[in-house]
Amino acid sequence: MQTVTLLGATGSIGTSTLDVIERHPDRYRLHALTAHSSVEKLLALCLKHQPEHAVLGSEDEARQLGAALKAHQVATRVSWGEQALCEVAGAAEVVVAGIVGAAGLMPTLAAVRAGRRVLLANKEALVMSGALFMREVARSGAVLLPLDSEHNAIFQCLPREHRGGLERHGITRLLLTASGGPFRDHDREALAHVTPDQACAHPNWSMGRKISVDSATLMNKGLELIEACWLFDATPDQIDVVVHPQSVIHSMAAYSDGSVLAQLGNPDMRTPIAHALAWPERIDAGVRPLDLFAVARLDFQTPDLESFPCLRLAREAMMAGGTTPAVLNAANEIAVDAFLTGSIGFTDIPVVVETVMGRIERRSADELDVILAQDRLARHEAQVVIDELAMTAAGG
C-alpha cells in the first residue's frame, strides 16, 4: 500500500484523484490533503478520508479546521503555510501536484528533492523553473509522471526511456491536441465582448476558473508546450499544436517511419490519473469506455494565432529561455485574475502578457531565488499595465 499526499485536494484534479483512490483502498492510503482556503470543503474531505495531515493557507483557517475536526473526534493533524506544504509533500511515497499556478512550485519541488513519485498536474512548476526542476529530478531519482491529459498521452506514446532528444528514438514531432476552448470559431471582434462566465464554460472539460480562462485564450496550450519541452527533452519547433474539438485524441507522437501514435479516450481526468498512480501497471479509473461509433468523426484545425496570440507568446517565451517563461506565467496569472474580476477585457489578457514580457529583461534561470524574484517583478509590472489600460479606457 502506498501513501499519497494530494496537493490541491479541493480542485478538479483533487476530486478526480480521490475518486480513483476510493476505487482502490487496498493500494493507496492518504497521508495528507491540502487546500488554499476552502475550509468547509477540506473539512468534508477529512471527515470522509481521515488523512494523517491537512494543510491550509493561513493560520486562522487552520485553527478553524482543527477545531471542527476535534469536535468530530477526527485525529487528522492540521498545519498551515508553505513550509507545511513542503513537509507533507516530502513525506509521502506518491505526491499528486494539483495546486494551480506558481503557488504549487515550492511543494512540488520539495517532493522532487525528496525523491518521491510525483504526479505532475501543476504545469507552472516546469514553466517557471524547467531546467532547475529537471536537474533536481535527475539528482534525486524522483519518478516524474505527467497528469495533464496531453502530456500523459504523449508519455504513453513514447518509448519508456526517452531522454536524450527525440531524434535518438526516431521521433520527428510531438502533436499537442487542443479543444480550442469555447471560442475557437470567434473572431477578434467577438472575443472583445466575452464575459468571465462565458470563458469558464469549457465545452469538454470540467476545470477551475483560472485554467478554463487559460484554455479559452489558448495560454493553457502554450504553457503545455513549454512543459512538454522539459518533460520530453524537445525543442519548441519539434512541437505542433492541433485543434481537435472532440477532445478524444489527447495527443500524438510522430515517428520517422511515418507512424503516428495517438492515445484516445473520453475527456475524463481520471484516465491519466489512474495511469500515473499505477504505472507501469493499469487499474480501473471508473471511466466509461470510448465509443467511436458515437463519436463518429474526428476533426482537426490549425490554431488561429491572430485571434489567440497567447499560444504564440508562450512559444516565443520558451525560445527566449531563461526567466522569460516565468515572466510569461506570472503576467498571465495577474491578467487572468483581472479579467475574472472585471478589471480588463478578454482580449486584454495577451496585451498585458506581451507588454510585461517586453519590459522585463531576461535573466538566467539557474537559481531559484532569481526565478522567484522575476516572478514577483512580473506580477508587479502586470498590475502596472492593467492600471494603464484602465486609465486609457477611462480616457485618462
Q: Decide if 188 is inside a domain.
A: yes
Is 202 a known ligand-binding residue? yes
Is 149 a known ligand-binding residue? yes
Is 215 a known ligand-binding residue? yes
Domain check: are 253 and 202 in the same one? Answer: yes
Domain check: are 161 and 271 in the same one? Answer: yes
Check residue 204 and give its pLDDT: 62
Is 87 a known ligand-binding residue? no
User: Cα–Cα–Cα angle for 299, 223, 112, nearest 5°?
Assistant: 125
Domain check: are 333 and 204 in the same one? Answer: no
Is 10 a known ligand-binding residue? yes
Check residue 167 and give its pLDDT: 87
Is 233 a known ligand-binding residue? no
Domain check: are 171 and 284 in the same one? Answer: yes
Domain check: are 192 and 266 in the same one? Answer: yes
Is 12 a known ligand-binding residue? yes
Looking at residue 301, what DSSP letter applies? B
Domain check: are 391 and 258 in the same one? Answer: no
Q: What is the CATH number of the domain that holds 355?
A: 1.10.1740.10
Is 221 a known ligand-binding residue? yes
Is 206 a known ligand-binding residue? no
Closest CA to 265 of 293, 284, 287: 287
Closest CA to 122 of 234, 46, 224: 224
Q: What are the Cα distances from residue 224, in Å, to 80, 218, 249, 322?
A: 30, 10, 16, 17
Per-residue pLDDT of the chain (396 residues; tens, 9 = 90+): 999 999 999 998 999 999 999 999 999 999 999 999 899 999 999 999 999 999 999 999 999 999 999 999 999 999 999 999 999 999 999 999 999 888 889 999 999 999 999 999 988 899 999 999 999 999 999 999 999 999 999 999 998 776 667 888 899 999 999 988 888 888 788 888 889 988 888 666 566 788 889 999 999 999 999 999 999 999 999 999 999 999 999 999 999 999 999 999 999 999 999 999 999 999 999 999 999 999 999 999 999 999 999 999 999 999 999 999 999 999 999 999 999 999 999 999 999 999 999 999 999 999 999 999 999 999 999 999 999 998 887 765
Q: Which of 295, 310, 343 is the last residue of a domain?
A: 295
Question: Which domain range does residue 32 map to?
Answer: 2-146
Check residue 52 and give its pLDDT: 97
Q: Decide if 307 is inside a domain.
A: no
Overall number of domains in the chain:
3
Q: Evaluate whether 97 touches 38 at the Cβ level (below 8 Å).
A: no
Is 220 a known ligand-binding residue? yes
Q: Which of 88, 114, 146 is the last residue of a domain?
A: 146
Q: Decide if 311 is inside a domain.
A: no
Check residue 390 and give its pLDDT: 87
Q: Decide if 302 is inside a domain.
A: no
Q: Decide if 104 is inside a domain.
A: yes
Is 266 a known ligand-binding residue? no
Check residue 206 and give its pLDDT: 60
Q: What are the Cα distances from residue 381, in Å, to 104, 302, 374, 388?
A: 22, 32, 10, 11
Q: Decide if 136 is inside a domain.
A: yes
Is 124 a known ligand-binding residue? yes
Q: Decide if 17 is inside a domain.
A: yes
Check residue 182 and give its pLDDT: 84
Domain check: are 94 and 21 in the same one? Answer: yes
Is 208 a known ligand-binding residue? yes
Domain check: are 327 and 276 in the same one? Answer: no
Q: What is the CATH number of the domain that holds 7?
A: 3.40.50.720
